[in-house]
Amino acid sequence: MGNTGWAVRRWTAWSDGWRSFGEAGFAVAAAVALVSGGAAWLLGWRGVAAGCWDAGTLVAVVPALAWVIGALRRGRAGVDLIAVVSLAGALLVHEYLAGGLIAVMLAGGHALEAAAERRAARDPDGAAVPCPSDRAAARW
């Protein structure tokens, strides 16, 4: 029994590490696609710019769908559902820059959420910051 607990803890730590790496990688990929498309557009390469923004949008659709399906299984429909509809709409109407921006916002939000969860798991009492007293608040 003791070895099983160790294996579960080890697997959980390993999978959490890869999950946070994936979320950070997703954010970086979306940002690189957006910036690369912007540089291509400034250089006059409109087709390359559209391709970069389109790729960033397509890369965002897969994890967004996974997050939405997971949320719907838990009985929750959140902001990710709106993001998936927006990404699909951007692809359908060929608004690749809009899709790239949505991808960056979605990826950045999930990366920040993952970082906050890691911090809260490390220091659960860190969120309980004492409020300033009325006297200290009155000085400001």
CB 77 within 8 A of CB 71: yes
Residue ranges of the domains in the chain? 7-121
Q: What is the CB-side half-sphere exposure of residue 21 using CA atoms within 13 A?
A: 6
Name the 3-class secondary structure at 132: coil
pLDDT at 15: 45
pLDDT at 11: 46
pLDDT in tens, 94-130: 888 898 888 888 888 888 887 777 777 777 666 566 6
> Considering only CA atoms, which of 112, 95, 108 is closest in space to residue 60?
108
pTM (two decimals): 0.67
pLDDT reading at 4 higher than 60: no
Instruction: Name the more confident of 16 and 133.
Output: 133
CA distances from 90 to 23, 47, 99 (A): 22, 16, 5
CB 53 within 8 A of CB 99: yes
pLDDT in tens, 65-78: 888 888 888 888 77
CB 100 within 8 A of CB 57: yes
pLDDT in tens, 34-57: 999 999 999 999 999 999 999 988
d(CA 9, CA 3) in angstroms, rounded, equals: 10
